[in-house]
Amino acid sequence: MSQISPDQIDNTQVDADVEWEIAPGLTPYDDAVARMEDRANAIAAGTAKELVWLVEHPALYTAGTSARREDLIDPDRFPVFDTRRGGQYTYHGPGQRVVYVMLDLNRRGRDVRAFVQKLETWVIATLDQFNIHGEIRDGRVGVWVPRPEKPALPDGSMREDKIAAIGIRLRKWVSFHGISINVDPDLGHFDGIVPCGIQGHGVTSLVDLGLPVTMEDLDVALRVTFDQTFGA
């Protein structure tokens, strides 16, 4: 595992109780789940620090606890993994930063709703580093970008595209799974599912929005805004 370069981070902001790792290459999904579960157990036992783990996966779909089989449009396109995180169907693949967040809510407050809201706030603050205005919507978990330049929906409402998905699981009040942010994935790969069960609206990425952002750029922004959101 490679650590984020110290010269990319203002070390006065670093929370020494939270480790950060970047996985090289593409991480198999089963391997990621196994590692998250082991780490969450160790955090709960007090034998490991909290961890934010940044990965990319090969192309795949995951099904959360609320997934509806009819939302899996093309089941043979990519491997499909059932997972016990919250949410519905999501896509992971190259060009998408997956942020696995293993934090101890025993010391951060046992409030799941507030924790999800903090994850949303973190994503919005990160996007703001690139002058992207992300928004949240009642009944639609994740972070959305208004697209007034695109044709309106049939009911006349503005088109909005999802740029980040959120789905977590808790074990002994330690979180795992987390968030995914689209940097430059193949957006056509989302066509095999109804992302998060939401019809009508689409998906976007930082590059799709016209920004030449790299994965490394996003990683630095995530680190800078983490302490602003969760507190050092």
Q: Looking at residue 149, what is its pLDDT?
A: 87
Residue 44 burial class via C-beta count within 10 angstroms: exposed 0-12, middle 13-18, buried 19 and up: middle
Q: One of 18, 116, 119, 196 is an active-site residue; which one? A: 196
Boundaries of domain holding 53: 18-230
CA distance 203 to 23: 25
CA distance 172 to 170: 6
Structural domains counted in the chain: 1
Query: How do 96-102 and 50-55 pair as beta strands?
Result: antiparallel
Residue 31: count other Cβ atoms within 10 Å of its Cβ.
Answer: 12
Q: Is 196 a catalytic residue?
A: yes
Query: Which strand (E) or helix (H) includes residue 219?
Result: helix 215-230
What's the average model confidence in pLDDT over 201-206?
89
Provide the whole-model pTM: 0.89
170 occurs within a structural domain: yes
| CA atoms 181, 35, 22, 101: torsion sign | positive
The answer to whether 4 is a known ligand-binding residue is no
Q: Where does the pLDDT of residue 89 fall: very low under 50, low under 70, confident under 90, or very high at 90 and above?
A: confident
49 occurs within a structural domain: yes
Beta bridge partners of 36: none
The answer to whether 202 is a known ligand-binding residue is no
2 occurs within a structural domain: no
Decide: helix, strand or coil at residue 104.
strand
44 occurs within a structural domain: yes
12 occurs within a structural domain: no
CA-closest candidate to residue 179, choices 85, 39, 71:
85
Q: Looking at residue 4, what is its pLDDT?
A: 41
161 occurs within a structural domain: yes
- Name the average pLDDT for the chain: 88
The answer to whether 86 is a known ligand-binding residue is yes
The answer to whether 64 is a known ligand-binding residue is no
Beta bridge partners of 104: 174
Decide: helix, strand or coil at residue 191.
helix
22 occurs within a structural domain: yes
Q: Looking at residue 14, what is its pLDDT?
A: 47
CA distance 209 to 207: 5
Q: Report the chain's terminal Cα–Cα distance, integer Å.
A: 23
Token pair belonging to 192: 């095999």
Q: Looking at residue 223, what is its pLDDT?
A: 96
The residue type found at 45 is A
CATH of the domain at 206: 3.30.930.10
Query: Which strand (E) or helix (H) includes residue 107?
Result: helix 105-108
What's the average model confidence in pLDDT over 118-146?
92
4 occurs within a structural domain: no
Task: Write the pLDDT tens digit of every residue in 24-63.
Answer: 999 999 999 999 999 999 999 999 999 999 999 999 999 8
Q: Looking at residue 6, what is its pLDDT?
A: 38
The answer to whether residue 3 scores a pLDDT higher than 50 is: no
